[in-house]
Structure 1
Amino acid sequence: MSGPRLLVVGVLAAAFGLRVYGLGVQSLWSDEGASAAMTWRTPAEILAASAGDIHPPLYYLLLRLWTEGSGRTEFGLRFLSVLAGVLTVALTARLGGRLFGTPGRLIGALLLAVSPLGVYYSQEARMYALLGMFGALGMNGLWELTASGWGRRAAAAYVVGMAGTLYTQYFGVLLLAAANLWFGLSLLGRLRKPGAARLALGWVGLQCLVGAAALPWYLAVLPQLGRWATGVPARPLAETARDLAAQAVAGPAWTALGPWVGLAGLGLAVLGVGAFRLNPWAAGFAAVYGAVDLVMPLLDLYRPFYQPKFLLLGLPGLSLWVTAGLAPAFGVGLKPGRWLAALGAGALGGVISLELAGVGAYFVNPAYWRDDYRGLVRVISALGRPADGIILDAPGQQEIFSYYYGGPLPVYPLPRARPPDPAATAQELADLLGRHERLWVVFWGDREADPQGIVEGTLNGSGYRAWDRWFGAVRLVLYLSPRPASELTPADIQFGDALRLTGFAVGDRPEYAPGDIIPVRLRWVAERPVERPYKVFAHLVDDQEFIWGQRDSEPAGGSRPFTAFEPGRPVTDTLGIPVLPGTPPGVYRVQLGIYDPATGRRLPVTDPAGDRVVLGSLRVGVGPVLDIAAYEMGARIGRELGGLTVAGYDLRPQGASQPGSTFRPKDFLHLTVFWQRPGVPTMLSAAGFRVELVDRAGNVVAAAEARPGGPDYPPGLWRPGEIIRTQHRFFLDLPPGEYRVRLSAGAEAEPLAAFKIEG
Structure 2
Amino acid sequence: MIDSQSLWYDEGNSARMTTRSFSEIAQASRNDVHPPGYYVVLNLWSRYLGTTEFGLRSISALLGVVCVCLIGVIVRKMYGDLAAIICFVLASLHPALVYYSQEARMYSLCVTMSVACVYFYIRIISEARIKSLVYSGYVICSVIGLYTHYVFALITFVVNFAFLLRMFINRIRNNVHVPVKAWFISHIIIFLCYLPWLSIGVNHLISWPATKALDPWTIWNILTTWKWLVLGQTVLLDDVYIGLVCYLFTVFIFVKSRKVDVIELWFLVPVLIILGSGLGTEAFEKFFIISVPAVVIAGGVGLAIMVNSHSYVFKVLGLIFCVIVISYKYLSLVNLYFNDKYSRDDYRTLVYDLEALNRDKDVVIVNAPNQMEVINYYDKGMVEFVPVANSRPLETTNEIRRLEMLADKYTRIKAVYWGDEQTDASGVIETWLNSNAFKYSETWYGQVRLIEFYVDDISDFEYLGVKMDNFILDSYGLNSKEFNPGEVVVVSLNWYTVDITSDMYKVFVHVSSSSNLPPVAQHDSYPMGGVMPTSSWSAGEMVLDRHGVYLPIDLQSGEYEVYTGMYSDDDGKRLSIDGKSEDEKILLSKIYVRSND
TM-score for both structures, normalised by structure 2: 0.95
Q: Is residue 461 of structure 2 the alignment partner of residue 488 of structure 1? A: yes
**Partner residue of 1:446?**
420
Distance 1:234 1:198, change over 3 A: closer
Judge which range, 304-313 or 529-538, deviates more. Answer: 304-313
Query: Is the Cα contact below 8 Å between 1:506 and 1:518 reproduced in 2?
Result: yes
> Which residue identity does 1:93 align to in structure 2?
G
Residue 188 of structure 1 aligns with an amino acid whose one-letter code is: F
Measured after TM superposition, the shift of residue 172 of structure 1 is 0.7
Instruction: Give the drift of 1:468.
Output: 0.4
Trace 1:393-408 onto structure 2 (pairs within 5 A).
393-408=367-382
Q: Indicate whether 1:130 and 2:103 are aligned.
A: no
C-alpha displacement at 1:581, in angstroms? 3.6
Cα distance in 1 for partners of 2:287, 2:339 equals 23
- 1:512 and 1:587 map into 2 onto residues whose CA distance is 12
- Within the candidate set 220, 235, 238, 1:239 is matched to 220
Q: Distance in 2 between matches of 1:252 and 1:177?
A: 26
Percent identical residues: 27
Which of 232, 237, 251 pairs up with 1:251?
A: 232
Q: Provide the rounded CA distance (Å) in 2 between the counterparts of 1:209 and 1:461.
A: 60
Structure 1 position 72, deviation (Å):
1.1
The verdict on how the C-alpha distance between 1:525 and 1:305 changes in structure 2, with shifts beyond 3 A counting, is closer
> Partners in 1 of 2:466 and 2:109 — Cα distance?
64
In structure 1, what is the Cα distance between the partners aligned to 2:425 and 2:283?
21
Contact 1:488 1:504 in 2 (8 A): yes
1:121 to 91, 100, 111: 100
> Offset of 1:99 from its aligned partner?
1.6
Q: 2:513 matched to which residue of 1?
A: 542
Are the counterparts in 2 of residues 27 and 373 from structure 1 also a CA contact under 8 Å?
yes
1:428-439 alignment, distance < 5 Å: 428-439=402-413
Residue 142 of structure 2 corresponds to 162
Greater displacement, 230-239 / 402-411 = 230-239
Query: Which residue does 2:492 correspond to in 1?
Result: 521
Structure that is richer in strand per residue: 1
- What's the secondary structure of 1:605's corresponding residue? coil
Asked whether the equivalents of residues 509 and 522 of structure 2 are also in contact (C-alpha less than 8 Å), the reply is yes
User: Does structure 1 residue 580 correspond to structure 2 residue 542?
Assistant: no
The 3 A distance-change label for structure 1 pair 171 and 547 is same
- Residue 143 of structure 2 corresponds to residue 171 of structure 1: no
Distance 1:294 1:558, change over 3 A: same
Task: Identify which range, 222-231 or 610-619, moves more after superposition.
Answer: 222-231
Give the structure 1 partner of residue 571 of structure 2. 599
Counterpart of 1:525 in structure 2: which amino acid? Y
Query: Does 2:301 match 1:324?
Result: yes
- Structure with the higher helix share, 1 or 2: 2
Q: Deviations over 1:209-261 (max 9, x none)?
A: 22122233122332232111124554553222222222233322212xx5142
Superimposed CA distance per residue, residues 459-485 of structure 1 (whole angstroms, 9 cap, x where no aligned partner): 1110001110111000000000123x3
Residues 1:145 and 2:116 aligned together: no
Task: Name the counterpart of 2:483.
Answer: 511
SS where residue 301 of structure 1 aligns? Answer: coil
Cα deviation for residue 489 of structure 1 reads 0.4
Instruction: Give the Cα separation in 2 of the matches to 1:119 and 1:326.
Output: 21
Picking from 258, 263, 279, the partner of 1:286 is 263
Q: Is the 8 A contact 2:307 2:316 kept in 1?
A: no
In 1, the alpha carbon distance for the partners of 2:525 and 2:181 equals 69
Alpha-carbon shift at residue 336 of structure 1 (Å): 2.6
With over 3 angstroms needed to count, the CA separation of the structure-2 counterparts of 1:398 and 1:165, relative to structure 1, is: same
Aligned match for 1:467, one of 437, 441, 453: 441
Does residue 28 of the first structure (1) align with residue 1 of the second (2)? no
Distance in 2 (CA, whole Å) between partners of 1:232 and 1:415 is 23
Cα pair distance change 1:368/1:557, threshold 3 Å: same
Over 3 Å counting, the alpha-carbon distance change for 1:448 and 1:575 in structure 2 is same
What are the equivalent positions in structure 2 for 1:701-716 lying under 5 Å apart?
none
Deviations 1:177-234 (Å, cap 9, x if unpaired)? 1111111221122104668666223322222122122233122332232111124554
Greater RCO structure (CA 8 Å; 6+ sep):
2
Q: Is the 8 A contact 1:140 1:154 kept in 2?
A: no
**Local SS of the residue matching 2:565:** strand
- Does residue 106 of structure 1 match 2:85? yes
Say which of 377, 389, 392 aligns to 2:363. 389
- SS state at 2:344 partner: coil
SS in structure 1 at match of 2:443: strand
Structure 1 CA distance for aligned equivalents of residues 554 and 264 of structure 2: 60
SS of structure 2 residue aligned to 1:312 = helix
1-side partners of 2:77 and 2:448: how far apart?
46
- Cα offsets for 1:692-741 (capped at 9, x unmatched): xxxxxxxxxxxxxxxxxxxxxxxxxx8xxxxxxxxxxxxxxxxxxxxxxx
Structure 2 residue aligned with 1:55, among 5, 15, 34?
A: 34
Partner of 2:319: 345
Alignment partner of 1:42 out of 21, 34, 39: 21
**SS, match of residue 617 in structure 1:** strand
* 5+ residue gaps, structure 2: none
- Aligned position for 1:356: 330
- The offset of 1:344, in angstroms, is 1.6
Q: CA RMSD in A?
A: 2.1
Q: Deviations over 1:338-373 (max 9, x none)?
A: 333222222112211111111112111111100011
**Closer, same or farther: CA 488–306 of 1 in aligned 2, 3 Å:** closer
Paired with 1:208 and 1:273, the residues of 2 have a C-alpha distance of 37
2 CA distance for matches of 1:221 and 1:276? 35
Q: d(CA) in 1 for partners of 2:75 and 2:279?
A: 34
Choose from 530, 534, 554 the match for 2:526: 554
Tell me, yes or no, if the aligned pair for 1:54 and 1:224 is still in contact at 8 Å.
Answer: yes
In 2, are the aligned partners of 1:100 and 1:327 still within 8 Å (CA)?
Answer: no
Which residue matches 1:477?
Answer: 451
Rounded Cα–Cα distance in structure 2 between residues aligned with 1:301 and 1:350:
32
Aligned length: 593
State the shift of 1:278 in Å: 3.5
Q: 1:260-279, CA deviations, whole angstroms, 9 ceiling, x for partnerless residues?
A: 42563354234222334544
Query: Which residue number in structure 2 is paired with residue 640 of structure 1?
Result: none
AA at the equivalent of 2:358? G
Distance 2:105 2:587 in 1: 53
Is the 1:82–1:123 Cα contact (8 Å) retained in structure 2? Answer: yes
Match of 1:205 among 180, 185, 188: 185
Q: CA 1:423–1:407 in 2, change beyond 3 Å: closer, same or farther?
A: same
Residue 451 of structure 1 and its aligned partner are, at CA, apart by: 1.7
Tell me the distance in 2 between the aligned counterparts of 1:233 and 1:575: 38
The one-letter code sitting in structure 2 at the alignment partner of 1:56 is: P
- Corresponding residue number in structure 2 for 1:93: 72
